[in-house]
Structure 1
Amino acid sequence: MTVVEKIKNLDEKQCVVNVLLDSVKAHPCKDCGKCVFGYEGITQFEMILKDITERKARSEDKVLLTDLANLMVTQALCDDGKEIAQAMLTALDKQGEVFDEHISKKQCRAGVCKQFMTFHVLASKCNGCTECMEVCEEDAISGKNKFVHVIDNDECTRCGKCIDVCSQGAIVLAGAIKPKCPKKPIPCRKK
């Protein structure tokens, strides 16, 4: 299946930006170097898409991708370079709003791009054991024994160690829809 076909057949659980990034990373033009537009184009695609998936995108990135893809379609020397450029144009045309959401709203509707996800502690499940606080290397989790903990997502590096260590299943990963959680540590409910 070509990259263009992949883009056309995505379901709601797949992120077009992430699929393109994976395709670009594994693309033959990345190691070829026979033509400037193929080699440099694929390198620029990877850098821009990586920034978009990591919440570092700039408002002009979508225009840059469009301009670069249009150049690659006409200037790349091989069909591989033209095909990935066409896939980019197809993605921008068919799912441009997904790029806009990533760039301006800092959201991934499919919940695939890890940097757009946030961690939350559910008050109904947290027993205040402090294990999550102990494994957090960034000190992004506040609380104390027998209190529901709170994660500061601005400090969180999204490593996932807190989810792995929580035996209560109290820590969840959320996309655009966030669970209702306390803003500061509160006493745990008696069970």
Structure 2
Amino acid sequence: MNWANVVKRYRERTGMLQKQLAHQLGVDSVTVSRWERGVTEPNLIVKRQLRAEIPSSASSSPAVRCILKNSTKAASATSLSTLRVRAVNELYCELYGVTEDEVVGKDWRDVSSDWLREEGEASGVLRGFMTGRLASARVEHNVNLRGKFLCGSRKTILRLDLLGIEPLALTYSSVCEPVRENRVLSMVTMEEAIEAGLREL
């Protein structure tokens, strides 16, 4: 892995100055500068920190790229370990009026509607996905971004565990008429999903 490029791309994608990244990683800005110029490499602990933060694992995975690209709905992949958006498709960018660079690498809570963020935590949906207890959920809500009504939305959220890739939440969104009430429509636990799969055999 070319750590000079990795560090620089991560810092630029997250909009940080060298000084800010240095503070986050507990080093000085001269050290970050040396990493970016390829003079030295981060130590093992810092490499592990960066690997956890860098949105390359999901976005560079051929399987995840294929899933998002071939989706007929707006779709995103979010890390369940860091809650950072790892990848989005073109339909997602069109629906929400954003570019990939504005979303990928950002904390999920910073790019979600207020209701979805609050309900995700209050209803246990977020914790269920993070702990692996929840396989899928469906929600229906009005999307308000930057204080402006955007559209009604139905979302299906699925937990995806692929070998060699961090656990992800895949979210598929479709536009609908404005909804009367924001709500969680359904949740399926891992146990229920496994039982349903076994019944199909």
Q: Would you tell me which structure has more strand in proportion to its own residues?
A: 2
TM-score range, shorter chain: under 0.3
